[in-house]
Amino acid sequence: MKSVIGLEVHVELKTKSKMFCGCPADYFGKKPNTHTCPVCLGLPGALPVPNKTAIQWCVMLGLALNCKIPLTSKFDRKNYFYPDLPKGYQISQYDEPFCLKGSLKLDNGKVIKIRRVHMEEDTGKLIHATVGNEDVSLIDLNRSGVPLVEIVTEPDFDNSKDVKEYLQKLQQIVRYLAISDADMEKGDMRLEPNISISKDGSLPSYKVEVKNINSFRFAEKAIDYEIKRQLEILKNNETPIQETRGWDEKKQKTVSQRTKEEASDYRYFPEPDIPPIRWTQKQLEGFRKQIPELPHFKVQKYENELKIKVSDAIRVSENIEVAQFFEKTVKIGSKHNVSPQSVANFLLNKGVNTSNITPAELIKTIISTSTYATIDNSKIKKAVEKVLRENPKALNDLRVGKTQTLQFLIGKTMAEIKEKIDTKIIIEEINRQTK
């Protein structure tokens, strides 16, 4: 028995305007139906004009995920009726997506294959409410036409931990590229796992799609729950039905939403309002150059070239602003004999706010905190003697193993000496005298 999990992730791009019209793409918290025009309202006669930046970002994400970029691509219409879809079809990509056959490597070395990365548009939002005494469904079309990128993996996952790591890595890449905030709670990033269980390693005859997952934690829980649920069904020699289920956080379980007995027929065909897109190698090279150094390269570089601990390298490169700040600081530090590891230590442990300080200032701070006054050993010896003498209770506590007293004694000694010295030296002296 082996779990087989594939992921479809939608990422909403933070372009200024929508995918096919000039309306602002930012809809969060805006007054309903104010960011709309004939195109995203699906009025008669309106035509889509594709957003070049959105397409470029989609291709850049594909490149960052090691995808191949076909030189020709096109949009297609996905036809279906739903009240939040004003045109009666969604402009998406069917058989010629922008990006194909990529991959993402997890920390344990496992490679998740990416089937495709394509571009499409978001739908409007339905709000079910009661107005007066009437139950009504309201439509807000501010989100209609906001650019969406869909990233589809092969069914390469077999556990929820890997899924979570993949999502975190994907989110990190998207943020590095600065193409989306990829905030799951806000719906910038949406996840739909397909889960099934294989008895013999081959691809099962069914799959269960889980929706309504809006955090990494929910993803983990929903997948674990679903695996357990399906295993129980299989234990009874039955096959789980192919369906769409939703994660119910209150009940801590997945609930059936829609059974997919017959596959829906979207009547895809090439979008006639948008000419096919053709790239030159030169254009693709240009896109490649705009991709910043990605987190996994940074980790490698920090570990191998800067000789810092892997765990610190991962933390420093978590977000691109900190990583870039770190690199600048290291560069300045190298002229002042400050090691990359001490920059990392300082950045990670002292809660440095990188937007309030420049790399040069940080180096100054590091230097000042690490330069200690050189003091005569006898002076330290006298100070420790005095402190131990005046604090017999603390001394006693220390002797019976209450190590927290040590900090107190160090503080007292420092106050006695009235100069900043390396605590290590004080500790050594205390140890010597209390032996």
Closest approach of Cβ 229 to another protein, in Å? 30
Nearer to another protein, 83 or 286 (CB): 83
Nearer to another protein, 76 or 312 (CB): 76
Q: Which of 65, 121, 130 is nearest to 93 (CA)?
A: 121
* Interacting residues with another protein (CB under 8 A): 38, 41-50, 77, 79, 81, 83, 86-89, 139, 263, 265, 267-269, 272-275
Q: Which of 288, 284, 278, 270 is nearest to 71 (CA)?
A: 278
DSSP string, 17-39: B-SSSSSBS--TTPPTT-S--HH
Nearer to another protein, 126 or 415 (CB): 126
Nearer to another protein, 268 or 408 (CB): 268
Burial of residue 68, with CB atoms counted within 10 A of its CB: 0-12 exposed, 13-18 middle, 19 or more buried: exposed
Closest approach of Cβ 268 to another protein, in Å? 8
Closest approach of Cβ 121 to another protein, in Å? 14
Closest approach of Cβ 77 to another protein, in Å? 6
Closest approach of Cβ 56 to another protein, in Å? 16
State both tokens at 84: 């939040």
Q: Which residues pair with 269 in a beta bridge?
A: 77
Residue pair 86/141 in contact (Cβ under 8 Å)? The answer is yes
Nearer to another protein, 126 or 203 (CB): 126
State both tokens at 41: 């309202």
Buried b (16+ CB within 10 A) or exposed e, 156-167: bbbebebbbbbb
Closest approach of Cβ 168 to another protein, in Å? 36
Provide the H-helix boundaries in 200-260: 216-235
Nearer to another protein, 137 or 433 (CB): 137
Closest approach of Cβ 275 to another protein, in Å? 6
**Measured between alpha carbons, how far is 296 from 317 in angstroms, rounded to an integer?**
8
Q: Residue 105: what are its φ and ψ, rounded to 5°?
A: -95, 130
Closest approach of Cβ 273 to another protein, in Å? 5
DSSP 49: -
Nearer to another protein, 276 or 411 (CB): 276
Query: For 48, left (φ over 0), alpha (ψ -120 to 50), or beta?
Result: beta
Nearer to another protein, 88 or 411 (CB): 88
